[in-house]
Chains A and B, each alone.
Chain A
Amino acid sequence: MAIVIESDLSVDIHGLLPAVEHALFGATDRVCLERAWIVTEAYRRFSAEPVPITRAMALREITARMTLDVSSNPIFAGNTSSAPRAWSLVPEAGFGLCPQLKIEHDFITDEWFSAQIPEDLRRAWVELGQAGGNAGTGHVSIDYVRVVNEGVTAILARLATHEPDGDESARVYRRAMKIACRAVIEWANRLADAAESAAAREPDPLRAACHRRAARACRRVPEHPAANLFEGLQSIVLAHLALVLEGQGQSISIGLADRALARFADEAAEAPGASADLIRAFLIAVGSNSFGGRGSNTQAITLGGADHEGRDQCNAVTTAFLRAFEQTPVADPHCFVRWHRNLDEVVWETSTKLLAGGRSMPLLVNDEQVAPALIAAGVAPADAWDYCIIGCNELGIPGRLCESAFPAGLSFNELGVLDRIVRERTESCSSMDAIMALWEAKVLEIAETGLSRRKDAIARHAEKLPMPFTSACSHACAEDGRDWMGGMPYHVPGLYLRGTANAINALAAIERTVFVDRHATLRQMIDAVDAADEAMLHRIAQAPKWGNDDDAADRWALALGQARRRALETAAARNGVPPIAVCHVVRSLHHLDGLKIGATLDGRAAREPVGDSIAAVCGTTRQGPTAILNSVLKLPASKEFAGIYNNNLTLPGNQARPEILRPLIEAFFEDGGQELQVNVLDAAKLKAAKLHPERYQDLVVRIAGLNARFIELSIREQDEIIRRAELA
């Protein structure tokens, strides 16, 4: 059936955007208990039903009873809690607080969070039982190409087609999906009612017009295919927020937004300004209604890229997204552009201009490294070239692959592992080869245990915390009657690494101190580091360092990678799983990792953070940005990082003109670089922003796995960024 595109860009919202932005940025974080209580009642009421039905009924109760807020953002309807930055809890998962949030924001403490959860709610869940975890599951991207262009009706039709298939559990799960899909459709209609009422009450003609347009759209989407750009965006907002309401937690990602909206490219091309304005309001809608208030920083949007036949997928919507990011200083969602040699010129020019201007977005990822790595892991080419970023910088394919972004059981700090080996097996570390052999054995042990734990974790999630709406919007799940967790077509396990740059430096320092100069035995070196012996620390500081294009250090990156790869290949083969997608993921884990370990042989002091990027440890590079990138280029990215390797490059403002950035990035990618996060920082400006936050509302920085409005960050992370800028 041909779908007529009926443009609906008639409402000029430009003047309304400052108020909509203020409704988000000016909001105070607090906890909204509404979802928690509705879920509690639903779990009690439907406890006799199979778990997927209980969960679907809980979603139905939430969407039918929750307070609707159509006024904070009158442009797009949809909310998940009573106000922007009011946290919606997922008590069925747990009441824990993600420790990274406490690193990132000074006001977020266990006491603050705990005090907002009433005792009777806690008691209720002692009886009901929680699935575990503190953030639901999250780290997912559903297939918005289908949601926007086929509508939920197509999903319901698919469920109907397969209704009798499979065993009882599959039929039950399909019934749950149907309930969940209908709940979301009814929620959209409730929102349409609310928007119509708001329009009738609203004295301001512009706001009233916005409400009327949102109401019209919510009558149609996400139930039916979107008929224009506005409806496409509204459809994504509703489906995305429905995932939050369902109980998905951190890092729910939008996936390939410009591909999902490609049908409306002509509309965006004809009205670029109005389209960018719409997307600005869209970004606020996504950013203000998320899990964890301002602690939500990792809802990724992926733009650009090529398909499996090399055709660039950029369109006028891609450009409109970038212009929206230029004009609205959101940190969440954050935005990735998929680079390839034939990337649209306007998109590339706009991207480098944004980066040179200090926007710290888009983050860049190279198709030519990522897609082949997924194909090598068994993904069909057409799907591999449909990859997107999930969360901080993990990989997925919308609705088809999420396990690469689900690290349960498989996550470790490479520096921490190396440190344990040299301390616990000092006598066995008789040569660098011996250290590397011990390292490989330890990684194999971690991977084998991790794969087993991970299998259990996935089964537990599917059993205790099924997500029928998420599953309905994913591939293969409706057909097979299975939960998204385990039911999507591809199962590429992810491994989260941290501390790699420190581990490389530690190996180079051990080699130089113990085996080349023979200045100290390994035991003496460890003791001296523990005693903060200045002479030893000076010696370590003089040892070769990763990130200086110095083969004396860089060869340890290769040795570490080869040993890791062998261990992971063995573990994957023994467990009958595809190649493991290694991903250097940090967000703020570099602080948490650092707090857990003492002084290390790379010269890092006890409790100091480990490096946040694969590129280099802050303060250890002396040869400039090209040397940093040259070091990283020695890593065989597509072989060793079938995930993403989190490469953060900080440049001082005066070195970062677009005409410099462009060849720098192109050379890096054309010669095999996989990912690049460019952070153009000005130390003086950051210091001023720390002192006078009211003057720097628009300043967004990249730390490792997250973008953040600088003024909202904790003092600890503000100082970290300032130090980086000073040393850049």
Chain B
Amino acid sequence: MRTTVFLQGCTLRCWWCHNPDTRPAHHPREREWTTTDLADHVGRDERYWRRSGGGITLSGGEPLMRIEAACGFLDECGRRRWHRAVETAGAVGRGSIQRAAQRLDHWLFDLKTVDAGRFQEATGGDLQGVLENLRWLLGQTSVAVTVRIPLIRGFNDDPASWDLMAACLRGMPRAAAAAILPGHDVGVNLAECPGNPAVERHVAEAARQRLETGGIQTALTW
């Protein structure tokens, strides 16, 4: 069990985003915290982490976009000996990745596609930077990394996409486990975004098998 802290602001504009409220740098109901207060607040869940091997997870938006705040909070969590993880799309500068890497126990690193043109079109981001960040993380650190593949209907729910992802991951400096995210109904009814309704189960299972066949250890939680 983990407690997730969502940070405001994102570097990407994925059309399927299920959490568009977090995209702008500021939110009408945002609340500012000191790192100590925030740690005290989330620390109320420590009893659950202790029994489950859990901890805190930074998410967003793109939590590494505000690297100063993120590092401050991660340092406070480190002082309390909490397990620290991040959910990132990796679309940030290398310096942010390097600073965060010193403070994290686990990276949940999104891989939406390995086609740079489609990535740019769908998210507005630069895929090359993302992949270089992932390569650096796998090459220069020994931290646990799970590559998370959100299955998006009509975008990456086809075997050709999965084969390309497997090939890309095989070319990384070390093996990283992959995890299929089959989508869910959260955000589906929001006006700004269509959300990412879950793919059918057999599609998610096919993706898992295809990636396994491609040499990538892949988990699927339905």
Contact = CB atoms under 8 A, between A and B. Distances in A.
Interface of A: 549, 626-627, 630, 654, 659-660, 662-664, 666-667, 670-671
A664 B1 contact: yes
A670 B51 CA distance: 10
Interface stretch (B18-26, B42-50, B77-85, B100-108): B42-50
Given A626-B1, A626-B3, A654-B184, A664 B48 contact: yes
17 contacts: A549-B44, A626-B44, A626-B45, A626-B48, A627-B44, A630-B44, A654-B184, A660-B52, A662-B51, A663-B1, A663-B51, A663-B52, A664-B1, A664-B48, A666-B51, A667-B48, A670-B51
Most buried by B among A659, A666, A667, A670: A667
Contact of B47 (A660, A662, A671): A671
Contacts, number: 31
Interface majority SS (helix, strand, loop, mixed), chain B: helix
Interface in B195-222: none
Interface in B31-58: 44-45, 47-48, 50-52, 54
B45 A630 contact: yes
B51 A667 contact: yes
Main secondary structure on chain A at its contact with chain B? helix
B181 to A, nearest CB: 12
Contacts of A667: 47-48, 50-51
A663 B184 contact: no
* Interface size of B as a range: 10 to 19
A230 B3 CA distance: 49
A212 B51 CA distance: 51
Nearest to B54: A663
A452 to B, nearest CB: 43
Nearest to B48: A667
Which of A660, A663, A670 lies at the interface centre, i.e. has the most chain B CB atoms within 10 A of its CB? A663
A390 to B, nearest CB: 31
Interface string B176-201: 00000000100000000000000000
B189 to A, nearest CB: 12
A666 B50 CA distance: 11
B56 to A, nearest CB: 12
Contacts of A666: 51
A553 to B, nearest CB: 14
A220 to B, nearest CB: 47
A363 to B, nearest CB: 21
Contact of A663 (B3, B44, B48): B48
Contacts of B184: 654
Contacts of B3: 626
A670 B50 CA distance: 12
B50 to A, nearest CB: 7
Contacts of A660: 1, 52
Contacts of A659: 52
Given A626-B44, A663-B1, 14 more contacts: A549-B44, A626-B1, A626-B3, A626-B48, A630-B45, A654-B184, A659-B52, A660-B52, A663-B51, A664-B1, A664-B48, A666-B51, A667-B47, A667-B50
A219 to B, nearest CB: 51
A645 B45 CA distance: 22
Contacts of A630: 44-45
A662 B3 CA distance: 16
Nearest to B3: A626
Chain A to chain B: the 6 pairs with minimum beta-carbon distance, closest first: A663-B52, A663-B51, A667-B47, A626-B45, A667-B48, A667-B51
Interface in B64-123: none
Contacts of B52: 659-660, 662-664
A316 to B, nearest CB: 28
A545 to B, nearest CB: 15
A667 to B, nearest CB: 4
Nearest to B45: A626
A627 B41 CA distance: 11
Nearest to B51: A663
Contacts of A662: 51-52
A678 to B, nearest CB: 14
Contacts of A663: 1, 48, 51-52, 54
B42 to A, nearest CB: 10
Contacts of A664: 1, 48, 52
A479 B51 CA distance: 50
B32 to A, nearest CB: 17
Contacts of B54: 663
Contacts of A671: 47
A563 to B, nearest CB: 26
A106 B50 CA distance: 46
B53 to A, nearest CB: 8
Contacts of B51: 662-663, 666-667, 670
Contacts of A549: 44
A672 to B, nearest CB: 10
Contacts of A670: 47, 51
A664 B45 CA distance: 10
Nearest to B222: A654
Contacts of A626: 1, 3, 44-45, 48
Contacts of A627: 44
